[in-house]
Amino acid sequence: MRNIFSLLLLALTFVFVKCSSVPLSDRSQLALINNDKIFPMSYEQYEQVKKESKIITGTEDARTVKRVGTRIQRAVEQYFADQGQSSYLNDYQWEFNLIDNDSTVNAWCMPGGKVAFYTGIMPICQDELGVAVVMGHEIAHAIANHGRERISQQYAAQFGLSAVSIILTGGSGGPSIPTEIIMQGAGAATSLGILAFSRKHESEADKLGLYFMAMAGYNPEEAPKFWERMAANSGGEAPPEFVSTHPSHDTRIADLKANMPKAMEYYRKSQ
C-alpha cells in the first residue's frame, strides 16, 4: 500500500513538476531536463555542422535568411516581453545560416534557436515571404521546445520511472543523458541521420509558425501557398523534415486555414 502511495505521489510529481506548457498552445509537455543541459550540446553540434558544411555569405539569399530570421526572432521576443515572460527566452542563442546544398530541400532548427536552411529549399520559398513561412515553422520548433520534449520522452522510455525519480528527488547516481538521445532531440536531419519530429510537433510548429510570421509583419496567407509548392515538389526524395512525418497535405492546408483568423489578427496588429 505504501509503495502504491509513493508511486502515485511520484506519478503526480512527474505530471505536475516536470511538465511545462507550450507557449501559445494549450498543451503541456514532458520536460525532464533543463535547457541548460541541452542547449550547450545543441550549440556544439551546430558548430560541428557549420564546420562540415559550406556556409554561404554575401549573397541575396543568405542575407534574406538572416534578415527574416532576425525579424521573426525580434517579434517573438516582443511578444514574450508583452506577456511578461522574457525570461523564457534567456538561454536562446539565435543564429540563421544558409548552407550550400542544392539537392537538399530542407531546413531545420536545433534546440535553443540554431537554424539552418539549405539552398535547395530556396527555389520553393521563391521570395522573402516564402522564407518567412519556413522560418516561422523552424523558430516555432525551438520556442515550443520540441527537442527537449523528445529527449525527455526518450529518456523516460529508455531508463524508466526509477531514473526519473532520481532526477526528481535530486539524488545522484542516475544515468546521465546519453549523447545520442540529445543528438536525436536536436532534430537536425539529413547529414546527421537524425529522426524527424512527430506529426503532433509538426502540426504545432505549423500553427505557431503562422502566428510568428504574422507577428513579424509577414502575411500568413502565404503559408498554404508555400505548402502547395512543397507538395508539388515532393515527387522525388522525401525530405525528412517536410514530407515524411508531416501531416498529410490536405490536413495541413485545412489546419492552416483554421488557424488563419488568429494569425491575421497578429498580422493586422503588426502593421
> From the CB of residue 46, how many other CB atoms can be counted at a distance below 10 Å?
23
Strand order in the sheet with 114-118: 55-56, 95-99, 114-118, 107-110
Residue 22 corresponds to which cell in the numbers above?
Answer: 507550450
| Minimum CB distance to Zn ion, residue 176 (Å) | 28
How many residues bind Zn ion (CB under 5 A)? The answer is 2
Nearer to Zn ion, 95 or 202 (CB): 202
Q: Which is nearer to Zn ion, 149 or 202 (CB)?
A: 202
- Told to check if 89 binds Zn ion by CB under 5 A, we report no
Q: Which of 75, 205, 216, 223 binds Zn ion (CB under 5 A)?
A: 205
Report, in Å, the least distance between residue 188 CB and Zn ion: 12
| Shortest-Cβ-distance residue relative to Zn ion | 205
Q: Give whole-number Cα distances, 24 to 14, 35, 189, in Å.
A: 23, 19, 26
CB 29 to Zn ion: min, Å: 16
Comparing CA positions, the residue from 213, 151, 207 lying closest to residue 176 is 151
Q: Segment contacting Zn ion (CB under 5 A): 127-135, 169-177, 200-208, 230-238?
A: 200-208
Distances (CA, A) of 240 to 67, 78, 138: 25, 31, 14
Q: How far is the CB of 138 from Zn ion (least distance, A)?
A: 7
Provide the minimum distance between the beta carbon of 77 and Zn ion in the complex, in angstroms, as a whole number: 21
**Interface region with Zn ion, contact rule CB under 5 A, candidates 52-60, 86-94, 202-210, 263-271:** 202-210
Name the residues that contact Zn ion, by CB under 5 A. Answer: 202, 205
